[in-house]
Structure formats: structure tokens, C-alpha cells
Structure 1
Amino acid sequence: MKHKVYIDGQAGTTGLQLRQKLQNHKDVEILLISEELRKDEAERKRLMNEAEVVFLCLPDDAAREAVKLVENPNTCIIDASTAHRTDPDWVYGFPELSPLHKEKIRHAKRIANPGCHATGFIAAVYPLIRLGIIGTDYPLTAHSLTGYSGGGKAMIAEYEAENRSPLFDSPRQYGLGQQHKHLPEMQYVTGIDTPPVFCPIVVDYYSGMATCIPLIASLFKKKVTKDELLALLTEYYKDAKLISVGTEETNFLASNPLSDTNELKLYVEGNDERMTLISVFDNLGKGASGAAVENMNLVLGLDETTGLL
């Protein structure tokens, strides 16, 4: 018998991606709501409480309200919004960070799906803290390139408009006020003392992401060379099925080669004095719907990569 799942907000970018992935998933049945009842609270509530797993693909306030509709104690909610990512009553859905993270997800009824930029940052920084290479007081910075699908339907429409502004032809930095919605999550999950100086950049391609964290070796708590750092991170993620570690030999690194996948590759670049860690992945895959399916698989007792490779 297939596991029943429901997507609340299935018309949005993440919701559509989730539905596409789950339609090809051999172990689940998607509970569908008719278009005319899509905003009917009673029908939504009925379907949520019938499902084993509910995905929330909604704005933050709507996600908080949707949680109140679930009364079935056996229903697991996976929230793709920002609403619960720093809530201690919710499990953070990044199983590769540690065996404890994975075990908590397996038994959770409330899971906060990571944000896309935050996924790239945390994948690089969390092991550095855990391995004692940098302290929580390290002055972190990051810049992160994303395809325009990360901005949702409105931004997709702007970029794909026939008579769009020529300014959209070049990369555009945004979040200039250092108040990006992923910053609290980056700080909360990694345990750093202050959020990083963060520079997100939207680029003229549909999907793909590259999050870069510069590092200065003289500020490390534990002195390591570039090759030693590569070896340590390779060992750290050796059991991860969707995360790999390596280097780029061409001296060029594109930000969208993992588009349309659910994988993440962490690159260790630079030299023994100045290094960069670069997380390359799909903002719609490991940065959104792919991560949600991975978390669902763990909750349902399936291999985490089912339907993702």
C-alpha cells in the first residue's frame, strides 16, 4: 500500500516541483484537491489529516496557520517556508549534517525544510565548526549565485517576459540591507556568534546555485592545509548519498551544472593561506523540493534517495 501525502500550496514553484517528483515516486500516492476547493479550509483540513506526510509550500504566515489544521498525531508536516526553521520544537531537515540529525528526522512529526542559500552555507560551515577548524566567532562572509526560479512565480515571469529590462541580462545583487530571510537560519543551525556578511546574487538562468565562503587560514582554530581540509570534509560526508566533496581542475566553476538534480557538491579551492568552500547544487532540488522528498523518505522508513537519483 502506498503512503498518502498532501501538498498544501501545490500551485507555487516548490509545490509544482514537489508534485513532479512525487508523481514518479513508486511508494507514495498524492492526495489531490480540486482547483475550486484549493483555498477551502475544510477540504484542506480533511486531506491534511488523511495524509501521512503534509508538505507546506506556502508563505510564512499561511504556513503557521496551516499547521493548526493538522489534528492527526500521526501526520508529519514538512514545512518548506521560513516560518519554523529556527523553532526549537521543529526538527531541522538536513540529514547529512550528522547521524543525530538523520535520526531526529526519522522520528519527527514537524520538520523545517532548509532554505536554498542556507543549504549551501550550512553544508560548508557546519562541518568546520564541528571539526574545530573555525570557532563560532570566525568573521564569516558568503556570496551566493542563484537562478531566477529562486524568486518564485513573480521573478520567473519578470525574467521570461518578452520585453524585459536589459538590466536582467546581467547578474543582480539583492538583499542589500543584510536582512536576508535565510540569515537567522544560517546562524541558528551552525551556532555562529553573528550572521555572515551575505551577498546573494540572481543570475539569468532558470535554476542552479553556487554558495561561496572565503576562508583565511591564519584565523583557523585548528591549522590545516587545503589538502587536509579537502580530506577532512571528504571524510565528514563519506556516507552522504547526495553530497560529495572535490575540487575543480579547470580553474572555472559554473553555478548551474547540478540543475535538475537533487545533489550537492562541495568544492574546496584556493591555497594553504586563502581557501574557498563552494557549494554547488540546484536551488529547486537539494535547495527545496529534493530536500523535502529526502526528509519524507526518512520519515516513511525508505532509503533517503528514493525517487531522487
Structure 2
Amino acid sequence: MSSPTIFIDGDQGTTGLQIHERLRQRTDLQLFTLPAAERKDSGRRAEAINACDIAILCLPDEAAREAVLAVRNPSVRVIDASSAHRTSPGWVYGFPEMCAGQPELIAQAQRVSNPGCYPTGAIGLLRPLIEAGLLPRDYPVSIHAVSGYSGGGRPAVDAHEGADATRALPFRIYSLALDHKHPPEIRHYTGLAQRPVFVPAYGNFRQGIVLTVALETRLLPAGVSGEALHAGLASRYAGAPHVKIVPFADAQRMTHLDPQMLNGSNDMELGVLNNAEHGQILLFAVFDNLGKGAAGAAVQNLDLMLARG
């Protein structure tokens, strides 16, 4: 029996390069991409996508939609790393740890949409707490996140690593109009009753994310404490190989969060910081925006799909 054929469409972008790097030494699959001269040839791309077993799309949203429309072979399965299909009917959300049964849905799916990097952390923190009744669905959630500049794609990488790198800003908060594309995805998969406030930023480091959500104890259900929120997360992710919960006592001794500490891995750490005196709680997630937030997640989903055969 021949090895499954995996086609990466868009292998020159930040996510595509990382996926290629993670897969290129594997002997259980045949990996192929298009040469530079054929990458913008729609006919050649359509031919390639219809000749593979699983296509991984690392493209801008509109190009990803066009690639999916080009699929004519009913046996071709797709993992889309863009944001084009994350809430689309018929697509399975590629966050295996999101809820019970999600790995099986991904394994059987024809179409899988990789989560956004920031939503991975936000959904990972919020959905278990909402489902457990520890966080009200109508809580006015505010999310702050800082990513490495690779989250801005090739233009941001060039700005920080190219000829004009000395002019790159050390820190940049963006989407000041509060119109970032991720809040609908976060709301959809967390179960929040309304759109969360989302404040993203890039720092002058290549990759890694710290994402935080501040909570007021007075707005939580009676009796819900930092310890209870930690227990809710620990219960949800017990046995999850790629999601670790920082022990509650250890978290209270932390003095800083390092966005780069999980770079190169497909892991994510979640935790709860608690100030009982002030009635304030801080939820946090740390992970690699190109790992669990992109390429690592795509490979994890690919492995689930391959396991189905």
C-alpha cells in the first residue's frame, strides 16, 4: 500500500514553511509542493490539489476559497490554515482538545479548518469554564494578546528581519478599531453571548504568544474562585498531551510570562493567577503562534486524519 500524498499549497509563507519543516523527514507520507514557476498557475495548482490525498492550504483567505472550489476529486481531504472556513458549515474545527469527541470528528472529516493562533488560547481558556458554569456566557470578556511578529506573515517578518529591521517598532498594538477578524471565531466556539473585546499586539520577537483574560470575582457566580477556575481547566484537559495546566500554587509564584517558552513545540500552557484580596483573576495561555497556533496544529490534525486511513 502506497504512502498517502500530502500537498502543501503555499509552502513559502511562515506557516507553510514550518509545516514543511515538520513533515519533510517523515517516511510514512509523500510530501510535495509546486516549484516556484508553477505556484501562481491556477491550472497546475488545480491539478496538484486533485492528485493528492490531503491538501494543506497555507494561503490568504480568498486564495484558500479558490483552492477549495478547484477540488473535483471527492476523495481529496483538505486542511485549511487560513481563516476562510473557520465557522463555515461542513467544516470541522481543527482544535482536537476543544471538547470530547473532537479528535474523532477531525479524523473522519473531509474538510478541517485550522484554528486561528489567538483563538486557540482564548477558546482553550474560556470554553471549558463556560461549559462548566464557572464563567457566565454573558460575561463582558476582554482579551489581550501579544504575539511574535511572525504572526503578521511574510511582510512582518521582512520588516523585522530585512534591510530596514532597525526601524521596526519594538511593540505594536493594532486593530485599534476593534474590528479584528478573530472575535467572531472566538465567540462561536466559546459559547459567549456577545463579541469579546480583543486587543492584539506584536512584540519584537519572532514567535510565541502570551494571551490573558482578566476577570472580576464579583461578576462570577457565587462561590467561584481562582481555585475553582483552575480545577475546571484541570478537569477538562486531564490527559491531553499538548495542553498543560500550570499547578495553581506554582502559578501564584510566577513573576512573569515568557511568550517564547514553548517555541518549537505543539504544546500550550494554561493557568490561573489569583488575587483574592482584590477580587481579581487573570487567566493566561502561552504557546507558539507557529506551533500550536498554526503549523503544529495542522500536523496534529493531519495525523488524526491519517490515522483514519
> In the superposition, relative to structure 1, how do residues 71 and 163 fare at CA in structure 2: closer, same or farther (>3 Å)?
closer
Give matches, 1:46-195, under 5 Å: 46-164=47-165, 166=167, 168-169=169-170, 171-195=171-195
Counterparts of 2:149 and 2:156, CA distance in 1: 6
Secondary structure at the aligned position of 1:175 is classed as: coil
Is 2:239 the partner of 1:254?
no
TM-aligned CA deviation for residue 237 of structure 1: 0.2
TM-aligned CA deviation for residue 267 of structure 1: 1.5
TM-aligned CA deviation for residue 261 of structure 1: 1.2
Per the alignment, residue 285 of structure 2 pairs with: 279
Q: Give the length in aligned residue pairs.
A: 302
TM-aligned CA deviation for residue 231 of structure 1: 2.1
Is 2:240 the partner of 1:240?
yes
Letter in 1 for 2:282: T
TM-aligned CA deviation for residue 204 of structure 1: 0.5
Confirm or deny: 8 A CA contact 2:55 2:79 kept in the other structure: yes
Gaps of 5+ in 2: none
> In the superposition, relative to structure 1, how do residues 152 and 191 fare at CA in structure 2: closer, same or farther (>3 Å)?
same
> In the superposition, relative to structure 1, how do residues 274 and 25 fare at CA in structure 2: closer, same or farther (>3 Å)?
farther
> In the superposition, relative to structure 1, how do residues 222 and 48 fare at CA in structure 2: closer, same or farther (>3 Å)?
farther
Counterparts of 2:296 and 2:222, CA distance in 1: 34
Counterparts of 1:17 and 1:207, CA distance in 2: 12
> In the superposition, relative to structure 1, how do residues 167 and 12 fare at CA in structure 2: closer, same or farther (>3 Å)?
closer
Q: RMSD of aligned C-alpha atoms?
A: 1.7
TM-aligned CA deviation for residue 221 of structure 1: 3.0
Summarize deviations over 1:176-217 as a string: whole Å, max 9, x none.
Answer: 010111111111111212121111110000000011011112
Give matches, 1:293-308, under 5 Å: 293-301=299-307
Letter in 2 for 1:43: R
Per the alignment, residue 203 of structure 1 pairs with: 203
Summarize deviations over 1:256-294 as a string: whole Å, max 9, x none.
Answer: 111111110002112342111111000000000110111
TM-aligned CA deviation for residue 42 of structure 1: 2.2
Counterparts of 1:33 and 1:255, CA distance in 2: 34
Q: Structure 1 length as normaliser, TM-score?
A: 0.93
Counterparts of 1:289 and 1:173, CA distance in 2: 24
Counterparts of 1:54 and 1:162, CA distance in 2: 34
Secondary structure at the aligned position of 2:56 is classed as: strand
Per the alignment, residue 230 of structure 2 pairs with: 230
Confirm or deny: 8 A CA contact 2:264 2:288 kept in the other structure: yes
> In the superposition, relative to structure 1, how do residues 45 and 166 fare at CA in structure 2: closer, same or farther (>3 Å)?
closer
Counterparts of 1:149 and 1:193, CA distance in 2: 31
Counterparts of 1:196 and 1:120, CA distance in 2: 14
Confirm or deny: 8 A CA contact 2:136 2:220 kept in the other structure: yes
Counterparts of 2:164 and 2:68, CA distance in 1: 40
Q: Structure 2 length as normaliser, TM-score?
A: 0.93
Counterparts of 1:156 and 1:184, CA distance in 2: 26
Per the alignment, residue 14 of structure 1 pairs with: 15
Confirm or deny: 8 A CA contact 1:134 1:222 kept in the other structure: no
Gaps of 5+ in 1: 303-309
Confirm or deny: 8 A CA contact 1:245 1:266 kept in the other structure: yes
> In the superposition, relative to structure 1, how do residues 32 and 162 fare at CA in structure 2: closer, same or farther (>3 Å)?
closer
Letter in 1 for 2:272: V
Counterparts of 1:231 and 1:121, CA distance in 2: 17
Is 2:293 the partner of 1:292?
no
